[in-house]
Structure 1
């Protein structure tokens, strides 16, 4: 198996690459006023607006640092209706 690794604080996490659509640099974000903690906003991915979650903000209470290795990981997940959806994750030290 092949994994994408990222960090939150001192801990490392892995995502199976089969769940990843693409890894992108930081993009312009449309902020969503009143969104829950961790939900940064929406980004356009191939013309489709997808939600963007900052995993470090969600888990540690601080936004991801703006590092060269901070990326948006576009992932696929199965929604309750059985369809695949896209979700953007901001993560630090992506490799």
Structure 2
């Protein structure tokens, strides 16, 4: 399986490459009052407002300074029966890797967006690599807040 590898703090995570629509440079975001602390704002993508989640904040880590390898990963997530665009701010995007090892379930109830784990040498740095499940990123109340008007 091909994945896009990035870091949250010192730990390595990945998204299945098939889930990533585009990889964008970090851009200025419009603040979204009342949004959870891990939603820094809206990205203007050719006139389409796209909510962005900071993966470090979502994981409870302080966000790192924006660096040359910080990106916004564009994914589609299911909301009220429709696919909606969501941006994921990811730090230290390392690139594409191939996971050949067997995947093991690694999610925890407190973080349902964490998916399977690949143990050992998946690409640069080796060690454990945990997948992010984009379809489980948004709690229903957060999805309603971010997409309520558009999804209704």
The aligned residue for residue 3 of structure 2 is 3
Q: Which structure carries more helix by proportion? A: 2
The aligned residue for residue 45 of structure 1 is 45
The aligned residue for residue 30 of structure 1 is 30
**Counterpart Cα distance in 2 of 1:77 and 1:27:** 21
The aligned residue for residue 136 of structure 2 is none
Structure 1 runs of 4+ with >2 Å offset: none
| TM-score of the pair, normalised by structure 2 | 0.58
In structure 2, runs of 5+ residues without a counterpart are 96-152
Which has the higher Rg, Structure 1 or Structure 2? 2
In structure 1, runs of 5+ residues without a counterpart are none
| Relative contact order, higher structure (CA 8 A, sep 6+) | 1
Residue 88 of structure 1 pairs with residue 87 of structure 2:
yes
Q: For this pair of structures, how many residues does the alignment match? A: 94
Q: Which structure carries more strand by proportion? A: 1
Secondary structure, aligned partner of 1:30: coil
